[in-house]
Amino acid sequence: MNRPGILVTGGTGYIGSHTTVELIKAGYHVVIIDNLSNSNVAVLDGIEAITGVRPDFVEADCTDIKALRALFEQYTDIKGIINFAASKAVGESVQKPLLYYRNNLNTLMNLLECMSEYKVDGIVFSSSCTVYGEPDDNPVTENSPIKPATSPYGNTKQISEEIIEDVIHSGAPFKSVILRYFNPVGAHPSALIGELPNGVPQNLIPYLTQTAIGIRKELAVFGDDYNTPDGSCIRDFINVVDLAKAHVTAVERLIEDKCATPVEIFNLGTGNGVSVLELINTFEEATGVKVPYRIAPRREGDIEKVWANPTHANEVLGWVADTPLADTMRSAWKWQLALREKGIM
């Protein structure tokens, strides 16, 4: 199969690496650009071990348009872009807003500029359910109201979506699929790639698995007095490989000109809301490993409950996130064990 090139920005990161694996399996030539600010080049070994193919890799920053142009001059077969390159820590974005606006927005604008110059058909953009804020109703559809952003990080996702809409409506010669992720968790079942957080994890699953293996003393559950059945927050936890597969379908729609509109938006979630306490319980049952935890005060800025209505993605993309949560928890645990085995953590 001789399929075109796909540029995966942030391709050595968590979701980028899993998506690269699925793209290679689907027969695409993948070029990764990553500045390695929050990932390790050894991820390429994991991708190669799974697929038998090593993706092309350019170590550069997407805010550097000269580097991007050089990349497009070198790889002339690129027809689609999947943009994962972004800073993503909510708390850090409050401390360093300019870093977030600069990284996330300049990256996107540089890519859009190059797309016209180098005749790229389309861009898949990583957005987030953060755009729905605290929803009035669950599950949320793509038409649920967009709420004011509560962090610079969230604002970069909203502004990025607007930039894409504006540029495409101005007549730019390409299309876009915007994917709004819910909470991606787990790792590739091979445990050859997974999530590698820098320092103390801010997200639930890496903190949970690091606690289960003894790196952290206990997991703090942020609040048990929310208006939910067990009092803890509710999220839509989606398996990262399921999520990665949606990108292959999305980029295919762009390069094969199958999009119904120049900008398409999809929620990527399972449709099931699961509470933090239920998730801990699922992990313990799936792995047989206990997670020491305590109830802690609420974390500022947390949404009480949000989960997806994924019908639009199910019907239009023919995609469904159907990996059982217990399997996903086992994959996260296997990955944590592999990190210990490799002496990484």
Give the footprint of ligand UFG on this chain (CB under 6 A): 88, 90, 128-130, 154, 183, 202-204, 207, 219-222, 233, 235, 276, 299, 302-303
Q: What's the min distance (Å) between Cβ of 198 and ligand UFG?
A: 14
* Joined tokens for residue 126: 């990583």
Q: What's the min distance (Å) between Cβ of 182 and ligand UFG?
A: 8
Q: What's the min distance (Å) between Cβ of 227 and ligand UFG?
A: 13
Contact 187, 331 (CB under 8 A): yes
Q: What's the min distance (Å) between Cβ of 89 and ligand UFG?
A: 8
Contact 331, 289 (CB under 8 A): no
Residue 233 and residue 183: Cα distance in Å, rounded?
13
∠ CA 292-296-302, rounded to 5°: 115
Query: Which of 153, 319 has the CB closer to ligand UFG?
Result: 153
What is the per-residue burial (b if ≥16 Cβ within 10 Å, else e) of 284-316?
eebbebebebeeeeeeeeebebbbbbbebbbee
Query: Which of 58, 233 has the CB closer to ligand UFG?
Result: 233
Active site residue 153: yes
At 7, phi and psi to the nearest 5?
A: -90, 120
Query: Which of 69, 147 has the CB closer to ligand UFG?
Result: 147
* Joined tokens for residue 169: 């409506």
Query: Which of 75, 293 has the CB closer to ligand UFG?
Result: 293
Which residue of the chain is nearest ligand UFG when measured via CB?
233
The catalytically annotated residue of 100, 132, 153, 207 is: 153
**Catalytic annotation, residues:** 153
